[in-house]
Amino acid sequence: METKEISQAVIGRLPRYLRYLGDLKDEGVERISSQELSERMKVTASQIRQDFNNFGGFGQQGYGYNVAYLYDEISKILGLDHKYHFVIIGAGNLGKALGNYLNFERRGFIFKGIFDKNPDLVGQDVRGVKVMAIEDLERFLKENPVEIAVLTIPKTSAVDIVDVLVDNGIQAIWNFAHVDLNVPDGVLVENVHLSDSLMKLSYNINRRKTEKDL
Judged by beta carbon, residue 24 or residue 170, the one nearer ligand NAI is 170
Judged by beta carbon, residue 157 or residue 171, the one nearer ligand NAI is 157
Residue type, 60: Q
Residue 99 touching ligand NAI (CB under 6 A): no
Which of residues 106, 193, 200, 209 is near ligand NAI by CB under 6 A? 193
Q: What letters, b where the CB count within 10 A reaches 16 and e where it falls short, cover 45-78?
A: eeebbebbebbeebbeeeebbbbeebbebbbebb
Phi-psi region of 2 (alpha: psi -120 to 50; beta: other; left: phi over 0): beta
Strands 188-191, 172-175: pairing is parallel
81: closest CA among 103, 110, 107?
Answer: 107
Query: Interaction with ligand NAI in 147-176: which residues (CB under 6 A)?
Result: 152-154, 157, 161, 176
DSSP label of 179: S
Question: Looking at 65-73, 75-83, 92-100, 140-148, which segment touches ligand NAI (CB under 6 A)?
Answer: 92-100
Which of residues 16, 106, 178, 207 is near ligand NAI by CB under 6 A? 178
Q: Kindly list the residues in this chain that would bind ligand NAI in the complex (CB under 6 A).
A: 89-95, 115-118, 121, 134, 152-154, 157, 161, 176-178, 192-195
